[in-house]
Amino acid sequence: MALLQVNYLSKSLFRLVPLNVVLPSDKMTFDKSGYFLPEDYRFKTLYLMHGLLGNYTGWITNTRIQRWAEEKNLAVVMPSGDNSFYVNGITSNNDYGEFIGRELVEITRRMFPLSDKREDTFIGGLSMGGFGALRNGMKYADTFSHIIALSSAVHLFEPGARQVANENSVFGDLAVAAESDKNPEVVMKELAASGKEKPKIYMACGESDSLLPANRSYHELLVKYGFDVEYHEAPGAHTWDFWDEQIKPFLNWLPLDEAVNGVGDGNVMTTNGN
């Protein structure tokens, strides 16, 4: 397994941007016969986004995504999205929607042995990242086949919704933005009307999460508009404990390889002198 930190100059954001990449590239067999994976193997990939006030380190430092993704030969790309909600901002050099939906996929496919197939490319996130996953997963449905949305901040455009990080600085007038493709509900309806293939969606929210009513409502809308949705409510709140518990369920939901352990410090074995 490789855990890589990348910094590169983004065209959409016009500055150096950081990301963590999990690349399960070094699995070896116990009998020393080499790697499990052929040289031309291309990894299925999950673009995984953090929540408000977080950054690219959140998923690695707070969950077991690295270990469990490695078992299933899944590459995971974790960018920093600042407090952008992963949409194009109202000021220049803040095109986070374009960054997530196109640029990041294109540049990482050039950097690493990632599959370029839609059916092997997934997007996900928590809270603000769940909002971004839904919006960009449907906005760029030609790129992403599956969306994972945990505790999603889909309440943002509800009347009286509380602002946490001056969301007006990202969206401008929220009433205007609510009618635009910055709103996941608008993008959902546009995609449904287009006749294009829809991504499959996994949604989950904690039973003690204040965002639960908004997630229930959004799930109902997705079903109404013909989306294939797996929806879960489970004990928990808006916390890393809840999101960590959801990793295995959503990895099992994704069309991934069977889990196989390689040789590593968490799986040491001695057999017949090998």
Q: What value does the mean pLDDT of the chain take?
A: 91
Average pLDDT over residues 193-197: 96
CA 170 to CA 183: how far, in whole Å?
A: 12
Three-state SS letters, the chain: CEEEEEEEEECCCCEEEEEEEEECCCCECCCCCCECCCCCCCEEEEEEECCCCCCCCHHHHHCCHHHHHHHCCEEEEEECCCCCCCCECCCCCCEHHHHHHHHHHHHHHHHCCECCCHHHEEEEEECHHHHHHHHHHHHCCCCCCEEEEECCCCCCCCCCCCCCCCCHHHHCCHHHHCCCCCCHHHHHHHHHHHCCCCCEEEEEEECCCCCHHHHHHHHHHHHHCCCCEEEEEECCCCCHHHHHHCHHHHHHHCCCCCCCCCCECCECCCCCCC
Write out pLDDT tens, residues 70-94: 999 999 999 999 999 999 999 999 9
Domain boundaries, the chain: 2-159+169-253
Give the CATH number of domain 2-159+169-253; options: 2.60.40.10, 3.40.50.11810, 3.40.50.1820, 3.40.47.10.
3.40.50.1820
For range 236-254, the mean pLDDT? 98
For the segment 123-134, the average pLDDT, to the nearest whole number, is 98
Report pLDDT digits (tens) over 134-157: 999 999 999 999 999 999 999 998
Tell me, what's the pLDDT at 1?
Answer: 73
